[in-house]
């Protein structure tokens, strides 16, 4: 969307220079996009990484310099690639993009005699000496200037928590109950200082034992009721917290499962789990902070009003210190948000590192790189710890500042209050009550300000979750055709064109697979055989052309119903943590044990399973670690056949099997009425197919 609007924030911004923002990449492949986003914002575009992601499609391989130049052009920039030495770096028009480590992009923001500053989408703002730069900089830079046709894009949308996470049902009554109990408890706390005032000013002076007993009984009752109500409130908050977490997590994960396959291929496991974990962080902030901030704010106002009746001067001094603390907290809020964002991203990288290490532990041990991998993980842990220390240091600073400001204020109030008491302008009981109120107000006001700042941190978490929930899911049409209405199992590809980042993988590709026949798809590694299989599976959408199953465009078929009629064994297929039986039936509660045995025999894995201690109930890990490569592949074939597929796609599905076993499995499957697409490199496997289709 193009918009020639008046930006009032910039209209009243008297800074001489535009500020280069720090935009962090969400995936490994987004460094170029993140760099372009930073420079676009610097030059006036109202965009963010999410809106740029919608504008440009980035695959898991990232972008080349030529593709990045095309992207710059579409954003209204003239780009100029420059080859230079370090000594000429100061002559570059900044901000500009530097090619880094042969596979990365960063933004150059500052050059001095001794160092440079870059905005690294992976690491943040980094200051580097020229010796360090020489280890990373490839000598290629990309200068960007506004073209004559430059028009401001206004595509950034403010992320709201409930837009990201959805609404929570069934909270109204519980929240109202908690609010009422909390207000009652707060009133008890406000009344408490009067007890000592009345004892000192009324009871002791008049020696009124009856009043002493009455007051003691009243406050004794409050002392008993207070913890009971407090416990009940805590229980209600715990239930509310649980309800919020369940519904929000369900909303996020449900949306996650609806996302296209391309989304998953550009993100690490650690990053995805970190984003889902942000739901819990938002829940904790909301359940602990919203109610508390409402109460702290309300009670602060009540106490200020009450304190005004005691002394206007002392109350105003307290209010001044509160506003000083408020101003300082608000002034540093952007810095705190950036620190928290850096902590979350470094933690996600650390988690991804350990997940990747565990998955590749066999390779690590075989190649003898345990020390290197351990060192790599420790470095990630240290980096995360350093970012956490910076964040916690800021928290400690403001905690110290709070104690310092309100401590000074308290000393002033004691001095001034004692002074006016000596002059008989104040009673001793009133002074003690006022000091109690001032201490309560200091605690409440600082707590209110801190919680409001914490609530602003929700933006950091919601931005991370928005990468999941604001990504367009696969849309399911209610009028889609069901597979039961299709009688034949033919597969036809008509004029398929597909590519990544303006790089064409297929151009006008056509293929006709007759029902019940088998075809081997062959070609050199990297030519797109697996990509073609994913297009047929409906996981990737071609830019042009269509895929027909039984003469019907698969876009018109019910997505879930279509996939239920397909059996697929892909290169990177996984077994889940559970028994072999669980994996064959995919954890279905409705198990046809006769069919399980039948498909296991067809995959020639039945005898292997029966020789195991627990037969079909033998446990396997989430990576199938207790099975050999050949056994794992045969279990995966049995799993595919258990679905009674009308179409079977096998992508290097028998690469770990010996020729005789592969032939035996092929002979059994060929007698079934299943259309088969076989992707293979092995000559013997290819020859088992009825036909061969070569991708060049």
| Residues labelled catalytic | 31
Cβ atoms of 153 and 46 within 8 Å: the answer is yes
Between CA 502 and CA 543 the distance in angstroms is: 11
Between CA 1 and CA 241 the distance in angstroms is: 39
Helices 629-642 and 659-670, packing angle to 10 deg: 0
Q: Which residues of 139-174 are buried (b: 16+ CB within 10 A; e: fewer)?
A: ebbbbbeeeeeeebbbbbeebebeebbbebeeeeee
Q: Helical H runs in 360-423?
A: 361-367, 370-422
Token duo for residue 324: 């000083």
User: ∠ CA 102-104-106 to the nearest 5 degrees?
Assistant: 120
Pairing, β 552-553 against β 566-569: unpaired
Structural element, H or E, at residue 136: helix 130-136
Cα Dmax for the chain: 111
**Distances from the Cα of 383 to the Cαs of 277, 342, 361, 686, in angstroms?**
20, 10, 23, 49
The beta-strand segments (E) located in 1-114 are 77-83, 96-100, 104-111
Token duo for residue 97: 């993009």
Q: Which long-range contacts (CB under 8 A, 24 or more apart) does 258-265 make?
A: 258/473, 258/474, 259/468, 259/471, 259/473, 259/474, 260/473, 260/474, 260/539, 260/540, 260/541, 261/534, 261/539, 261/540, 262/57, 262/59, 262/540, 263/471, 265/59, 265/60
For the residues of 508-546, what is the DSSP string, one character each?
Answer: EEEEEE-TT-EEEEE-STTSSHHHHHHHHTTSS--SEEE
Cβ atoms of 43 and 58 within 8 Å: the answer is no
Token duo for residue 474: 């696969």
Q: Helical H runs in 137-199?
A: 161-165, 172-198
Cis peptide bond upstream of 95, omega within 30: yes
CA dihedral (515, 517, 523, 525) in degrees, to 10, reads: 80
């Amino acid at each position: 969307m193009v918009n020639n609007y008046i930006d009032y924030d910039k209209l009243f911004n008297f800074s001489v220079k535009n500020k280069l923002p720090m935009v962090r990449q969400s995936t490994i492949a987004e460094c170029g996009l993140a760099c372009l986003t930073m420079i676009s914002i610097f030059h006036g575009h109202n965009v963010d990484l999410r809106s740029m992601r919608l504008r440009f499609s980035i695959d898991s391989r990232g972008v080349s310099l030529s593709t990045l130049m095309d992207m710059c052009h579409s954003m209204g920039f003239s780009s100029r690639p420059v080859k230079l030495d370090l000594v000429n770096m100061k002559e570059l028009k900044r901000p500009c993009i530097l090619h880094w480590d042969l596979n990365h992009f960063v933004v150059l923001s500052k050059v001095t005699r001794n160092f440079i500053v870059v905005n690294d989408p992976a690491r943040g703002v980094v200051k580097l000496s020229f010796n360090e730069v020489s280890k990373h900089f490839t000598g290629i830079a990309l200068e960007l200037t506004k073209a004559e046709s430059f028009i401001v894009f206004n595509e950034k949308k403010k992320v709201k928590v409930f837009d990201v996470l959805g609404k929570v049902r069934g909270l109204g009554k519980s929240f109202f109950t908690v609010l009422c109990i909390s207000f009652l408890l707060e009133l008890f706390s406000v009344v408490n200082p009067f007890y000592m005032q009345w004892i000192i000013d009324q009871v002791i002076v008049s020696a009124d034992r009856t009043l002493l007993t009455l007051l003691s009984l009243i406050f004794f009752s409050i002392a008993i009721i207070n913890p009971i109500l407090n416990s009940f409130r805590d229980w209600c908050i715990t239930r509310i917290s649980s309800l919020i977490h369940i519904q929000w997590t369900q909303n996020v994960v449900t949306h996650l499962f609806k996302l296209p396959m391309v989304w998953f291929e550009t993100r690490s496991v650690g990053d995805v789990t970190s984003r889902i974990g942000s739901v819990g962080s938002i829940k904790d902030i909301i359940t602990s902070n919203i109610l508390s901030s409402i109460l702290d704010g309300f009670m602060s106002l009540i106490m200020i009003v009450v304190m005004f009746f005691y002394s206007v001067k002392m109350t105003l001094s307290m209010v001044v210190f509160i506003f000083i603390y408020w101003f300082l907290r608000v002034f540093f809020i952007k810095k705190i948000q950036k620190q928290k964002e850096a902590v979350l991203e470094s933690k996600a990288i650390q988690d991804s590192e350990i997940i990747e290490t565990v998955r590749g532990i066999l390779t690590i041990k075989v190649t003898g790189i345990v020390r290197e991998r351990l060192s790599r993980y420790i470095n990630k842990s240290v980096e995360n710890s350093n970012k956490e220390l910076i964040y916690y240091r800021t928290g400690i600073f403001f905690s110290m500042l709070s104690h310092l400001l309100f401590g000074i204020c308290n000393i002033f109030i004691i001095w001034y209050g004692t002074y006016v008491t000596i002059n008989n302008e104040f009673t001793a009981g009133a002074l003690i009550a006022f000091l109690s109120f001032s201490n309560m107000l200091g605690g409440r006001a600082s707590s209110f300000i801190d919680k409001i700042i914490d609530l602003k941190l929700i933006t950091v978490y919601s931005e991370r979750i928005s990468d999941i929930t604001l990504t367009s899911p696969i849309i399911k049409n209610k009028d889609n055709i069901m597979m039961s209405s299709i009688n034949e199992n033919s597969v036809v590809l008509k004029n398929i064109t597909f590519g990544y980042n303006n790089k064409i993988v297929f151009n006008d590709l056509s293929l006709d697979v007759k029902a019940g026949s088998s075809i081997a798809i062959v070609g050199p590694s990297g030519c797109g055989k697996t990509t073609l299989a994913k297009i047929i599976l409906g996981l990737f959408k071609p830019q042009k052309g269509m895929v027909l199953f039984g003469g019907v465009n698969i876009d018109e078929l019910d997505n879930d119903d279509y996939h239920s009629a397909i059996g697929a064994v892909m290169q990177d297929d996984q077994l889940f943590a559970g028994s072999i039986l669980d994996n064959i039936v995919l954890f279905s509660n409705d198990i046809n044990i006769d069919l399980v045995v039948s498909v296991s025999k067809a995959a020639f894995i039945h005898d292997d399973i029966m020789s195991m201690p627990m037969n079909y109930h033998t446990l396997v890990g989430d990576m199938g670690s207790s099975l050999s490569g050949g056994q794992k592949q045969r279990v995966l074939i049995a799993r595919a056949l258990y679905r009674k597929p009308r179409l079977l796609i096998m992508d290097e599905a028998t690469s770990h099997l010996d020729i005789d076993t592969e032939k035996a499995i092929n002979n059994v499957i060929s007698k079934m009425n299943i259309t088969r697409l076989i992707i293979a490199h092995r000559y013997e496997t290819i020859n088992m197919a009825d036909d061969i289709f070569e991708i060049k």
